């Protein structure tokens, strides 16, 4: 039995977790210790508090994507004038995560790899989990199918926690992989939460030094002189 | 130079970049402001369990080209009034040296001396230190008798008199008693000077510094009685109370330890120790004819030294505190400036009546006392950064948004007349029904301060060196030419100049390596250092990438909190600076356009990235030719070169010609001739003569010293080869 609590915790305080009949924690998420595989995981969060998770358990991807890319774009408008170029800077565009991968092999206990009975396989269920999550996308629908409230999807991975929503989802069945789907999806990021490795200044009690994070660090690092040319001057 | 070394020449731009760029961790760049509403960081709690590693060899700029990315803050001088662009001139011409005001934060939080801001900053400037001394904290012969006091309405206090040496012993014991540790000699010395400043050594009713005087501070008079003085039963208890009050702030204690007289005075002001007086007044005394604090410290140091205590070498400090409202502004002037004063009181002594407005409470004002004392000391707190553009000379009050504006003179354009009419309609009416005007003024003040901090911080953010240079680097330049139209006589071609240079680069991270130190709460026994996928966040490679990513996120921009709080955590883009890339001796200044990261299953131990960058300015930097760069037949090649021009390095002060001996002049001339004839080895941008050199048969060791140690050797700078 490993030391410490390695079970993946639900951020939902109302969740009681899974107990009997298992003696071992049912699942240890690699992100807890960074010493095991780190699956990508999803949550649905509250429309009123993007950091408040609603599901009792995170949806852990059965199989991580085979590739993932992060796209960040600045929004800058450049206009040529007789006096040179004028730049207009605006806040960043929403970042986008896109991933593609494969489902697990559709394998039934009685038939082995199967296409006909793939709806009766674990891989299918896990695929449907993600597909259903995409459909839900954190929205609350009225009986007529209209969105009345919009929550968020939380995507958790070792590079950070991303809060946003699915933008697209498609899957493909080809003759090259008859017992699995190719899946790709894209996700728009509204908020990113990143844990920074390495040294973080601490005070004597072990907390982060508030003054440092607020910004004053004069003379801590050497900088090229030209960086200081625009320094603030005292008016006279 | 007399020691045989030539003075170092001013560094060139490329040298300063290469010298300062390093593999800084991500948290350095996380200190910059971002869109906080969409970006949040925290410390990784597992950082202690992994040690970042890399197999990438650290290379010097001589071994390989470095790829550096840094930030240049916006060229803006931010004052309390407006955002002007005068610093643009400085960015071209270089800035003029000013008073170097330093803001630093004490290592530990102090107590609430005086019940004020406990986390006060030390505001000081170089050159106001008396240095430190080590030695005993008591001196011989410094005994003192017990004090006495008198009580009763209208009864004058009993005075006890103490010499400097006695005070030194008294405060040494008091320090240990009240703070629980042994003091440094400096701390005791400052207490002695402090007490002398307040009492001249005559303690009324054992009160060493009129601490706790109730309402009638100066002039001291024998008519005072215990209604006006705190009285103490003994000298010791009085000294202990004063020690606790003066050193209740860690900032004050730290300044005293460092011998920093100006910082000490400022720290006391931050604790509202001397009310609304300016720092300069406290430093100089009301007569302003000499640095009073220095005089007292000097006298006390001499007396203590004579009595067998430590020895100080107290230098002559500047007569006044440096210019700048941090040191010259009074508390009431400050209150007027930030809108804390009662609008009806021109002196600024009275504060606003009633409950403080929301903005004031947000910034720490205690509603119970209305923030009066806090307001006077607040000019030294984190909210008030004096080195960054405090605009006053004598503390001019801010423009009252509800006050009268400039007279239009009753004539002029119809618009002016209309404005005058509107003004007349609103005059003498209190439009400030809901503190909106004051609120806006205060918010503007807070906004400019925050901007000043952000700009200062960006200026001090060091450039990042990439662990591994990009795989591809492609500056694309293009002309803007319209040649699509054709007239009857041929094509119509319009030239519009050059498009901005676009850089596209892509790279791959070095393999992720980290050492698992084990013995963690999660049960790991540790693993040998090696390539890792799970703990890649801790590898040197990933951290370097994260630093790059954070610079991209910042992109030279400064986001500031929307003080109107239209929505929680709303940040607005305030001003834009620049990002610079330095590669291959070229400095590109501009900003990022996009940044992409990708990972795939076939490359589990790396990430690939690419970015696009638009260049506003490009500088090909002057550099020193590396001897290894010489190609071909060096001897033949050298003959074709024109003789280099020799220019005296004006940055080095030279001996006056009249004081030079004929021999030394001859030596100098010989060196010039020799250098012109046979250019010596180039190192840096100075020319170094060889130690065993001889010129024209004249031994340069004629005075018994080798050439390299000749006292009158003048360094020469090799002119740029055409």
Name every residue whose Cβ is closer than 8 Å to that of residue B102 and which is 6 or more positions away in sequence. A218, B122, B123, B124, B125, B126, B387
Q: Name the closest residue on chain A to residue B70, using Cα atoms.
A: A227
Which of the residue ranges A55-59, B66-70, B80-84, B266-270 would you say has the lowest mean pLDDT?
Answer: B80-84
Taking CA atoms, B311 is separated from B189, B196, B261, B603, in Å, by: 11, 19, 17, 67
pLDDT in tens, B158-201: 777 888 888 898 998 888 888 888 899 999 999 998 888 877 77
Q: Which of B207, B212, B180, B208 is nearest to B192 (CA)?
A: B208
User: Is there a contact between B534 and A37 (Cβ–Cβ < 8 Å)?
Assistant: yes
Domain of A173 in residue numbering reads as: 1-236
pLDDT attached to residue B573 = 86
The radius of gyration of chain A from alpha carbons, rounded to an integer in Å, stands at: 24
* Chain B partners within 8 Å of A3 (Cβ): 521-523
pLDDT in tens, B399-454: 333 333 333 344 455 666 666 666 666 555 555 555 566 666 666 777 777 787 78
pLDDT at B651 over 90: no
Mutate to test the interface with A, among B460, B526, B533 (most CBs of A within 10 A): B460
CA distance A203 to chain B (A): 8
Strand B686-687 versus strand A182-196 pairing type: unpaired
ipTM (interface pTM): 0.82
pLDDT in tens, B34-85: 666 677 777 787 877 888 888 888 777 777 889 999 999 887 666 554 444 4
Prior bond of B219 cis (ω within 30°) = yes
pLDDT at B607 over 90: yes
Q: For chain A, how many structural domains are there in total?
A: 1
Q: Read off φ and ψ for residue A170, nearest 5 degrees.
A: -145, 150
A168 touches B: beta carbon within 8 Å: no
B332 or A16: which carries more pLDDT confidence? B332
Q: Which residue(s) pair with B583 in the sheet? A: B67, B586
pLDDT attached to residue B542 = 93
Prior bond of B423 cis (ω within 30°) = no
Neighbours of B382 (CB within 10 A): 21
Reduced to 3 states, what is the DSSP secondary structure of residue B97?
Answer: coil
Burial class (CB in 10 A: 0-12, 13-18, 19+), B289: exposed
Q: How large is the average pLDDT for residues B543-563? A: 88
pLDDT attached to residue A34 = 79
B449 or A46: which carries more pLDDT confidence? A46
CA distance B560 to chain A (A): 12
pLDDT at B686 over 70: no
Q: Which of B537, B518, B554 is nearest to B25 (CA)?
A: B537
CA distance A110 to chain B (A): 31
A-to-B residue pairs, Cβ atoms closer than 8 angstroms: 273
A82 touches B: beta carbon within 8 Å: no
Distance CA A171, CA A186 (A): 12
* Chain A partners within 8 Å of B459 (Cβ): 223, 227-228, 230-231
CB atoms B522 and A33 under 8 Å: yes
B72 touches A: beta carbon within 8 Å: yes
CB atoms A89 and B460 under 8 Å: no
A138 confidence band (pLDDT: 50, 70, 90): very high
Distance CA B130, CA B132 (A): 7
CB atoms B537 and A70 under 8 Å: no
Name every residue whose Cβ is closer than 8 Å to that of residue A69 and which is 6 or more positions away in sequence. A97, A98, A99, B596, B597, B598, B599
Distance CA B330, CA B265 (A): 13
CB atoms A197 and B52 under 8 Å: yes
* Chain B partners within 8 Å of A219 (Cβ): 460
H/E run at residue B389: none
CB atoms B453 and A215 under 8 Å: yes
Interface of B with A in 683-712 (CB under 8 A): none
pLDDT at B494 over 80: yes
A209 or A18: which carries more pLDDT confidence? A18
A206 touches B: beta carbon within 8 Å: no
pLDDT at B679 over 70: no
pLDDT at B552 over 70: yes
| Helix, strand, coil share (%) of chain A residues, nearest 5 | 15, 35, 50
User: Is there a contact between A126 and A104 (Cβ–Cβ < 8 Å)?
Assistant: yes
Q: Read off φ and ψ for residue A193, nearest 5 degrees.
A: -120, 120
Q: Which of A234, A201, A207, A194 is nearest to A220 (CA)?
A: A201
Taking CA atoms, B289 is separated from B201, B293, B295, B450, in Å, by: 21, 12, 11, 37
pLDDT at A123 over 90: yes
Mutate to test the interface with B, among A164, A182, A215 (most CBs of B within 10 A): A215
User: Is there a contact between B49 and B523 (Cβ–Cβ < 8 Å)?
Assistant: no
Interface of B with A in 554-583 (CB under 8 A): 555, 557, 559, 573, 576-577
A48 touches B: beta carbon within 8 Å: no
pLDDT in tens, B133-162: 878 888 876 566 667 777 665 566 777 788
CA distance B620 to chain A (A): 15
CA distance B183 to chain A (A): 21
Mutate to test the interface with A, among B31, B250, B383 (most CBs of A within 10 A): B31
CB atoms A89 and B119 under 8 Å: no
pLDDT at B334 over 80: no
* Chain A partners within 8 Å of B622 (Cβ): none
In the block, tokens 């804390």 appear at B340
Q: Name the closest residue on chain A to residue B603, using Cα atoms.
A: A67
Which of the residue ranges A166-170, B489-493, B696-700 would you say has the lowest mean pLDDT?
Answer: B696-700
Burial class (CB in 10 A: 0-12, 13-18, 19+), A153: buried
CB atoms A72 and B552 under 8 Å: yes
* Chain A partners within 8 Å of B23 (Cβ): none
User: Is there a contact between B203 and B159 (Cβ–Cβ < 8 Å)?
Assistant: yes
* Chain A partners within 8 Å of B553 (Cβ): 72, 92
What is the secondary structure of B108-171 as a DSSP string?
S----GGGS-SSPPEEE-TT-B-----S-SS-TT---PPP----STTPPPPEEE--HHHHHHHH
User: Is there a contact between B410 and B420 (Cβ–Cβ < 8 Å)?
Assistant: yes
B372 or B593: which carries more pLDDT confidence? B593
Q: Name the closest residue on chain B to residue A64, using Cα atoms.
A: B601
Query: Using the 8-state DSSP alphabet, how is residue B536 labeled?
Result: G
H/E run at residue B227: none
The tokens of A10 are what? 């639900």
Distance CA B45, CA B47 (A): 6
pLDDT at A126 over 90: yes
Q: Is the dihedral of CA B210, B216, B219, B223 positive or negative?
A: negative
Distance of CA B392 to the CA centre of its chain: 20
Which of the residue ranges A4-13, A98-107, B214-223, B593-602 would you say has the lowest mean pLDDT?
Answer: B214-223
* Chain B partners within 8 Å of A200 (Cβ): 27, 43, 47
Count each helix (H run) and each strand (E run) in chain A, helices first: 3, 13
Top-confidence range, B128-137, B451-460, B537-546: B537-546
User: Is there a contact between A60 and A30 (Cβ–Cβ < 8 Å)?
Assistant: no
pLDDT at A132 over 50: yes
pLDDT attached to residue B71 = 93
- HEC string for B572-606: EEEEECEEEEEECCEEEEEEEEEEEEEEECCCCCC
Residue B478 sits at the vertex; the CA angle it makes with B615 and B587, to the nearest 5 degrees, is 30
H/E run at residue B270: helix B261-270
The tokens of B273 are what? 């120790």
Distance CA B306, CA A131 (A): 87
Average predicted confidence (pLDDT) for chain B? 69
Tell me the HSE value of B12 on the side-chain side, using a 13 A CA sphere.
15
B373 confidence band (pLDDT: 50, 70, 90): very low
A223 or B711: which carries more pLDDT confidence? A223
Distance CA B71, CA B579 (A): 5
CB atoms B597 and A30 under 8 Å: no
CB atoms A230 and B522 under 8 Å: no
Q: How large is the average pLDDT for residues B534-549? A: 91
The radius of gyration of chain B from alpha carbons, rounded to an integer in Å, stands at: 33
Mutate to test the interface with B, among A5, A24, A30, A35 (most CBs of B within 10 A): A35
CATH number at residue A84: 2.40.30.200
């Amino acid at each position: 039995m490993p030391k410490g609590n390695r079970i993946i915790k639900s951020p939902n305080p109302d969740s009681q977790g899974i107990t009997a009949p298992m003696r071992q924690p049912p699942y240890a998420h690699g992100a807890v210790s960074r010493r095991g595989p780190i699956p990508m995981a999803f949550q649905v969060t509250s429309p009123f508090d993007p950091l408040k998770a609603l599901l009792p358990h995170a949806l852990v991807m059965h199989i991580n994507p085979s590739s993932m890319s992060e796209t960040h774009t600045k929004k800058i408008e450049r206009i040529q004038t007789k006096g040179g170029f004028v730049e207009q800077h605006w806040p960043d565009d929403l970042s986008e995560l896109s991933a593609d991968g494969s489902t697990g092999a559709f394998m039934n206990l009685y038939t082995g790899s199967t296409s006909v009975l793939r709806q009766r396989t674990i891989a299918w269920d896990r695929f449907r989990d993600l597909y259903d999550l995409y459909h839900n996308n954190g929205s609350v629908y009225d009986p007529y199918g209209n969105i009345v409230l919009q929550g968020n999807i939380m995507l958790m991975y070792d590079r950070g926690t991303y809060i946003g929503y699915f933008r697209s989802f498609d899957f493909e069945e080809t003759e090259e992989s008859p017992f699995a789907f190719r899946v790709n999806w894209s996700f728009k990021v509204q908020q990113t939460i990143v844990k920074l490795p390495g040294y973080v200044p601490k005070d004597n009690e072990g907390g982060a030094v508030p003054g440092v994070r607020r910004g004053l660090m004069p003379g801590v690092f050497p900088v090229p002189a030209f960086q200081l040319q625009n320094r603030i001057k005292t008016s006279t | 130079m007399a020691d045989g070394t030539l003075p170092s020449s001013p560094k060139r731009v490329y040298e300063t970049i290469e010298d300062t760029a390093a593999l800084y961790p991500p948290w350095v760049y996380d200190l910059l402001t971002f869109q906080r509403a969409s970006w949040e960081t925290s410390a990784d709690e597992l950082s202690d369990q992994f040690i970042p590693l890399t197999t990438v060899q650290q290379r010097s700029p001589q071994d390989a080209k470095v790829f550096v990315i840094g930030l240049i803050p916006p060229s803006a001088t931010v004052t309390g009034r407006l955002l002007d662009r005068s610093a643009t001139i400085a960015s071209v011409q270089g800035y003029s040296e000013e008073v170097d005001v330093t803001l630093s934060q004490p290592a530990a939080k102090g107590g609430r001396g005086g019940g004020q801001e406990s986390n006060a900053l030390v505001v000081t400037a170089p050159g106001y230190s008396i240095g430190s001394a080590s030695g005993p904290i008591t001196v011989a012969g410094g005994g003192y008798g017990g004090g006495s006091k008198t009580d009763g309405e209208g009864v004058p206090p009993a005075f006890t008199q103490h010499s400097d040496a006695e005070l030194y012993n008294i405060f040494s014991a008091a320090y240990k008693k009240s703070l629980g540790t042994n003091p440094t000699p400096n701390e005791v010395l400052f207490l002695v000077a402090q007490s002398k400043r307040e009492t001249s050594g005559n303690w009324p009713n054992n009160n060493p510094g009129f601490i706790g005087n109730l309402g009638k501070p100066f002039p001291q008079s024998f008519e005072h009685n215990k209604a006006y003085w705190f009285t103490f039963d003994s000298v010791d208890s009085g000294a202990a109370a004063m020690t606790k009050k003066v050193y209740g702030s860690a900032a004050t204690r730290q300044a005293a330890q460092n011998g920093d007289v100006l910082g000490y005075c400022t720290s006391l002001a931050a604790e509202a120790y001397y009310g609304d007086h300016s720092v300069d007044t406290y430093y100089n005394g009301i007569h302003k004819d000499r640095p009073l604090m220095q005089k007292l410290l000097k006298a006390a140091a001499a007396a203590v030294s004579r009595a067998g205590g430590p020895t100080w070498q107290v230098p002559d400090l500047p007569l006044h505190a440096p210019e700048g409202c941090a040191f010259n502004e009074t508390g009431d002037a400050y209150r007027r400036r930030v809108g804390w004063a009662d609008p009806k009181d021109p002196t600024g002594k009275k504060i606003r009546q009633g409950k403080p407005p929301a903005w004031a409470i947000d910034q720490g004002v205690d509603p119970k006392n209305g923030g009066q004392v806090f307001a006077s000391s607040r000019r030294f707190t984190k909210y008030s950064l004096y080195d960054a553009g405090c605009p006053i000379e004598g503390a001019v009050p801010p423009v009252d948004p509800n006050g009268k504006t400039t007279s239009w003179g009753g004539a002029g354009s119809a618009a002016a007349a209309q404005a005058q009419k509107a003004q007349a309609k609103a005059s003498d009416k209190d439009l400030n029904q809901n503190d909106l005007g004051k609120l806006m003024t205060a918010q503007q003040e807070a906004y400019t301060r925050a901007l000043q901090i952000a700009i200062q911080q960006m200026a001090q953010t060091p450039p990042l060196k990439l662990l591994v240079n990009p795989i591809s680097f492609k500056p694309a330049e293009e002309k803007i030419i319209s040649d699509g139209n054709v007239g009857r006589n041929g094509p119509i071609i319009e030239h519009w100049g050059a498009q901005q240079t676009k850089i596209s680069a892509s790279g791959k991270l070095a393999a992720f390596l980290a050492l698992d130190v084990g013995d963690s709460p999660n049960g790991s026994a540790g693993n040998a250092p090696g390539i890792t996928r799970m703990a890649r966040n801790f590898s040197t490679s990933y951290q370097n990438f994260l630093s790059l990513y954070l610079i991209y996120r910042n992109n030279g921009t400064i986001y500031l909190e929307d003080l109107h709080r239209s929505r929680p955590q709303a940040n607005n883009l305030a001003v834009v600076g620049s990002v610079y890339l330095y590669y291959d001796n070229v400095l590109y200044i501009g900003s990022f356009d996009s940044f992409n990261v990708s990972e795939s299953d076939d490359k589990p131990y790396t990430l690939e990235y690419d970015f696009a960058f638009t260049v506003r300015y490009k500088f090909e930097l002057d550099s020193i030719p590396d001897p290894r760069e010489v190609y071909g037949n060096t001897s033949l090649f050298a003959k074709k070169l024109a003789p280099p021009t020799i220019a005296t390095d004006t940055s080095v002060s030279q001996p006056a010609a009249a004081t030079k001996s004929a021999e030394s002049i001859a030596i100098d001339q010989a060196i010039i001739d020799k250098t012109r004839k046979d250019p010596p080895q180039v190192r840096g941008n100075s020319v170094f003569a060889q130690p065993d050199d001889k010129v024209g048969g004249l031994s340069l060791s004629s005075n018994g010293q080798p050439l390299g140690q000749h006292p009158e050797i003048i360094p020469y700078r090799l002119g740029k080869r055409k």
